Chain A
Amino acid sequence: MPTVSVSAEISSLIEPILQRHAWRADRLVQILREVQEAVDFISDETAAHLAEALKIPYAQVHSTRDFYAFFYRENRGRYRVLFSDNITDRMAGNQALFEHMAKRLKLEPGKVSDDGLVSIDYCSCTGMCDQGPAILVNNRAITRMTLRRVDEICDLIRGQVPLDKWPAEFFRVDDNIRRADMLLGTPHEPGKAVRAAIARGRDGMLAEMKLSNLRGRGGAGFTTAVKWEACRNATAAPRYIVCNADEGEPGTFKDRVLLQSYAGRVFEGMVIAAYTVGASHGFLYLRGEYLYLLQPLEAYLAGMRAAGLLGRDIGGVAGFDFDIEIHLGAGAYVCGEETALIESLEGKAGRPRVRPPFPVTSGYMGKPTVVNNVETLCKVTEIALHGGTWYEAIGTKQSTGTKILSVAGDCARPGLYEYAFGVRIAQVLEDCGAQDAIAVQVSGASGVCLSEREFGRRIAFEDVPTAGSFMIFGKQRDLFEVARNFAHFFAHESCGFCTPCRVGTVLMKEIMDKIADGRGTQYEMNELLRLQQVLKPGSHCGLGQTAGNAVADTVQKFRPAYERRLAETDFVPAFDLDAALSRARELAGRDDAAAHLGEEA
């Protein structure tokens, strides 16, 4: 462990942060985020200082810091630029922009400039797919990047202009609502849904939830009423409501819009959940990429407190006390998994827990916890207002209500489209102006890749379930590159807890790179499918279980995209054998025939 020797300046910047969090070790992730914001990076010395102040082992601070992509051990500069590298950003040309910025600032990826001012690198999807290519500068989202905007940003950085003084236009994030239905198209009357729920009573509200057959919108589609009831019946107290706004699935951005323009519904949904299950405290777990939403959301919560929708005796119900706190993530896709999210809320690295016990009985701090998706909570307000029977009539039998799709990729009008469940893929494609689509990736990198002959299928839990991502690929696209992008994504985001996923995702990535490099053979094709057979049943959580889906789907449906890259021989090594001898050749001063390796024996 490094000695505790931070400068007086750093110490004075850290102290108020620790004070604000009351030196609570379970707030470590939030403390680390704020410390980094204040002092740019978290050195080993700073980590040791924090460990001592929080009275926890140094290793705990160290491991938590190193787990999250947005926490830095070494100085990455005062301006830390990250280019969103989802496939939709790639399609919009982010690589050319990245190279242009690297050239202008004379930077290598991931390396800080000599003067310690700036660094640039890639990161996972930042949820701006409908207005990309997007970047983050010190976790602030900038959309619609162009070469010109890159130049402007380079000048601002070189001129050391503070981020607050950058043109507001850079930070503009549009809602792009293209098709509104019952959620996006209905005006919101603050407090009405909460009052309606209270009028129904706790049992009444739960009964309506059951009637509605509302299922979770995060992807898994678990029946919300069952979750709530299990939490309500749990004997331990206190109980917690968590809103999962760690919208990390590549291609998804609906939660961002809901939090930006429909926050009232999200928070009131949480209040109704708290009322129904008897919870006293709520968390909104907001992904770090949506930092720009933090202040408006805090302001909204303050407004709700002033209006008596949060705090003590909400809605005049004696003893109904509930408040909401916002926690920020720090660039870890796996934290979208509910138990990993809870670990992160407790200040730890976001590694999924073993289930059971499920969060409804043993969640945050081991207490009963309901974790619901942002969109699910919005739907709760509709059920409170109109009743379960009304709600159940919309959509299909097993998928009631409407679903918001985040449409991006090759189409004329990317943005949000809200449909009643049961809509056909072809209908969505027509509405968004995608004439020449050859494939749609539904539900993100972990979802399913549909080819043209499947465009008649329907969005619903009975057919094609989705968390909302809907990425369209036109006829000029190469589905191999799409799958390779996702393979890189999963290798980067695997939390490393279980071997099938930690090793399997990396092997899959390396095989995809080998094929891309023209060194793949039929052997690698077999290996990809064999790996998928280990990843899917062998991984601990959904990340590993779904990590091979895109590869397996595209191998099946777009096999020629792979085959035209394959070498015709039996096997080719992934690396250049002769080049691997070069160092020894040089040191031994040899250049004879035996000092070289040809292509084949």
Chain B
Amino acid sequence: MNAPMNPRKLRVTTTSLSGCFGCHMSFLDIDERLLELAALVEFDRSPITDIKHCSQHCDLALVEGGVCNAENVHVLRELRANSKILVAFGACAVNGGLPAQRNHLDVGKCLSQVYRTPDGSATAIPDDPELPLLLDKVYPVNEVVRVDYFLPGCPPSADTIWKFLTDLLTGRTPRIEHPLLKFD
């Protein structure tokens, strides 16, 4: 039949919000399969390409990390607005993860504790507009934008990520099952 010789490559954008880049590291752990992936996708805005903003409409967005500050919100909204499918990628994106441990504390107390002078006599919380302000809590991605898929794991293993991506790329509804599905 007349199958296109060079089907359009899918555009993928990725980001790490309030995460540790562990999910991205796990992504790179797919090792030589990266070559196979490179034949199928093209990376847009991502820590991997160092492109600062989405250049055009993307097919897939992988969002690592929860939403802890104003900048996270802007980045997340940009990815959502420019992507057909958005994935909460890893434990922090799914439910806040380790950064959300501060949710039990008042953000004011956190800040004044961190920015105390060494002798504890005064606090000097920076007011530089370059620094994004903290939200009162760390929110999971799905409480700020609509999420299409959740990929749990801290981090999701390379095999899990591979299975998920290949499912998506071949048009199958992604199904992650034991032993690939892990929440820790």
A residues with CB within 8 A of B: 521, 523, 570-571, 573-575, 577, 580-590, 592, 594-597, 600-601
Interface flags for B110-151 (1: CB within 8 Å of A; 0: not) read: 011000000000000111010111111101000111100000
Check if B146 sits within 8 Å of A571, measured CB to CB: yes
Check if A583 sits within 8 Å of B77, measured CB to CB: no
Check if B134 sits within 8 Å of A584, measured CB to CB: yes
Interface flags for B72-99 (1: CB within 8 Å of A; 0: not) read: 0110011011000000000000000000
Q: Give Cα A421 to B182, complex, Å.
A: 50
Check if B112 sits within 8 Å of A587, measured CB to CB: yes
Which partner residue on chain A sits nearest B132 by CB separation? A594
Q: Give Cα A582 to B135, complex, Å.
A: 8
Among B70, B107, B133, B135, residue most surrounded by chain A Cβ atoms (within 10 Å)? B133
Option from A577, A588, A589 in Cβ contact (under 8 Å) with B73: A577
The number of residues on chain B lying at the interface, defined by a beta carbon within 8 Å of a beta carbon of chain A, is 28
Q: Give Cα A521 to B142, complex, Å.
A: 13
Closest Cβ of chain B: how far from A499's Cβ, in Å?
11
Q: Identify whether the interface residues of B are mostly helix, strand, loop, or mixed.
A: mixed
Check if A597 sits within 8 Å of B129, measured CB to CB: no
Closest Cβ of chain B: how far from A405's Cβ, in Å?
42
Check if A583 sits within 8 Å of B136, measured CB to CB: yes
Q: Which residues of A are found within 8 Å of B127, using beta-carbon distances? A: 588-590
Q: Give Cα A589 to B127, complex, Å.
A: 6
Q: Give Cα A209 to B52, complex, Å.
A: 78
Option from B78, B107, B132, B144 in Cβ contact (under 8 Å) with A577: B144
Q: Which residues of A are found within 8 Å of B77, using beta-carbon distances? A: 600-601
Check if B143 sits within 8 Å of A573, measured CB to CB: yes
Option from B74, B106, B126, B137 in Cβ contact (under 8 Å) with A580: B137
Check if B70 sits within 8 Å of A595, measured CB to CB: yes
- In the complex where A583-B136, A584-B107, A587-B108 touch, is A570 in contact with B146 (Cβ < 8 A)? yes
Check if B144 sits within 8 Å of A581, measured CB to CB: no
Check if A581 sits within 8 Å of B133, measured CB to CB: yes
Check if A601 sits within 8 Å of B74, measured CB to CB: yes
Option from A574, A584, A596, A601 in Cβ contact (under 8 Å) with B135: A584
Check if B125 sits within 8 Å of A573, measured CB to CB: no
Interface flags for B48-70 (1: CB within 8 Å of A; 0: not) read: 00000000000000000000001
Q: Give Cα A250 to B137, complex, Å.
A: 36
Among A521, A523, A581, residue most surrounded by chain B Cβ atoms (within 10 Å)? A581
Q: Which residues of A are found within 8 Å of B137, using beta-carbon distances? A: 580
Closest Cβ of chain A: how far from B148's Cβ, in Å?
10
Q: Give Cα A55 to B137, complex, Å.
A: 43
Option from B108, B129, B135, B143 in Cβ contact (under 8 Å) with A581: B135
Q: Which residues of B are found within 8 Å of A597, using beta-carbon distances? A: 70, 73
Closest Cβ of chain A: how far from B173's Cβ, in Å?
14
B residues with CB within 8 A of A: 70, 73-74, 77-78, 80-81, 106-108, 111-112, 125-127, 129, 131-137, 139, 143-146
Q: Which residues of B are found within 8 Å of A570, using beta-carbon distances? A: 146
Q: Give Cα A464 to B107, complex, Å.
A: 52
Q: Which residues of A are found within 8 Å of B111, using beta-carbon distances? A: 584, 587-588
Closest Cβ of chain A: how far from B167's Cβ, in Å?
19
Check if A601 sits within 8 Å of B70, measured CB to CB: no
Q: Give Cα A40 to B111, complex, Å.
A: 41
Known A-B contacts: A581-B134, A584-B107. Give 13 more (CB < 8 A): A521-B146, A573-B139, A573-B145, A574-B143, A580-B137, A581-B133, A583-B107, A583-B108, A583-B136, A588-B126, A588-B131, A588-B133, A601-B77
Q: Which residues of A are found within 8 Å of B136, using beta-carbon distances? A: 580-584
Q: Give Cα A573 to B77, complex, Å.
A: 12
Closest Cβ of chain B: how far from A575's Cβ, in Å?
7
10 contacts across the A-B interface (CB closer than 8 A): A523-B146, A573-B145, A577-B135, A580-B136, A580-B139, A584-B136, A595-B129, A596-B70, A601-B77, A601-B78
Closest Cβ of chain B: how far from A588's Cβ, in Å?
5
Q: Give Cα A595 to B126, complex, Å.
A: 13
Closest Cβ of chain B: how far from A581's Cβ, in Å?
5
- In the complex where A577-B135, A584-B134, A601-B81 touch, is A590 in contact with B129 (Cβ < 8 A)? yes
Check if A585 sits within 8 Å of B144, measured CB to CB: no
Option from B106, B133, B144 in Cβ contact (under 8 Å) with A595: B133
Check if B81 sits within 8 Å of A585, measured CB to CB: no
Check if B133 sits within 8 Å of A585, measured CB to CB: yes
Closest Cβ of chain A: how far from B175's Cβ, in Å?
15
Q: Which residues of B are found within 8 Å of A601, using beta-carbon distances? A: 74, 77-78, 80-81
Q: Give Cα A595 to B107, complex, Å.
A: 15
Closest Cβ of chain B: how far from A574's Cβ, in Å?
6
Which partner residue on chain A sits nearest B144 by CB separation? A573
Q: Give Cα A583 to B125, complex, Å.
A: 12
Q: Give Cα A32 to B62, complex, Å.
A: 53
Which partner residue on chain A sits nearest B75 by CB separation? A601
Q: Give Cα A585 to B129, complex, Å.
A: 10
Q: Which residues of B are found within 8 Å of A582, using beta-carbon distances? A: 136
Closest Cβ of chain B: how far from A571's Cβ, in Å?
4
- In the complex where A600-B77, A601-B81 touch, is A584 in contact with B133 (Cβ < 8 A)? yes
- Which 8 pairs of residues, A with B, have the shortest CB-CB distance? A601-B77, A571-B146, A584-B133, A580-B135, A584-B134, A588-B127, A580-B136, A592-B129
Which partner residue on chain A sits nearest B112 by CB separation? A587
Q: Which residues of A are found within 8 Å of B144, using beta-carbon distances? A: 573, 577
Q: Give Cα A585 to B135, complex, Å.
A: 9
Q: Which residues of B are found within 8 Å of A594, using beta-carbon distances? A: 70, 129, 132-133
Check if B145 sits within 8 Å of A571, measured CB to CB: yes
Which partner residue on chain B sits nearest A570 by CB separation? B146
Q: Which residues of B are found within 8 Å of A585, using beta-carbon distances? A: 133
Closest Cβ of chain B: how far from A530's Cβ, in Å?
12
Which partner residue on chain B sits nearest A521 by CB separation? B146
Q: Which residues of B are found within 8 Å of A523, using beta-carbon distances? A: 146
Closest Cβ of chain B: how far from A345's Cβ, in Å?
36
Closest Cβ of chain A: how far from B183's Cβ, in Å?
11
Q: Give Cα A600 to B77, complex, Å.
A: 8
Q: Give Cα A140 to B37, complex, Å.
A: 69
Which partner residue on chain B sits nearest A595 by CB separation? B133
Q: Give Cα A577 to B144, complex, Å.
A: 8
Q: Which residues of B are found within 8 Å of A596, using beta-carbon distances? A: 70
Which partner residue on chain A sits nearest B111 by CB separation? A587
Option from A575, A587, A590 in Cβ contact (under 8 Å) with B143: A575
Q: Give Cα A590 to B143, complex, Å.
A: 25
Closest Cβ of chain A: how far from B112's Cβ, in Å?
7
Q: Which residues of B are found within 8 Å of A592, using beta-carbon distances? A: 129
Check if A581 sits within 8 Å of B125, measured CB to CB: no
Check if B133 sits within 8 Å of A590, measured CB to CB: yes
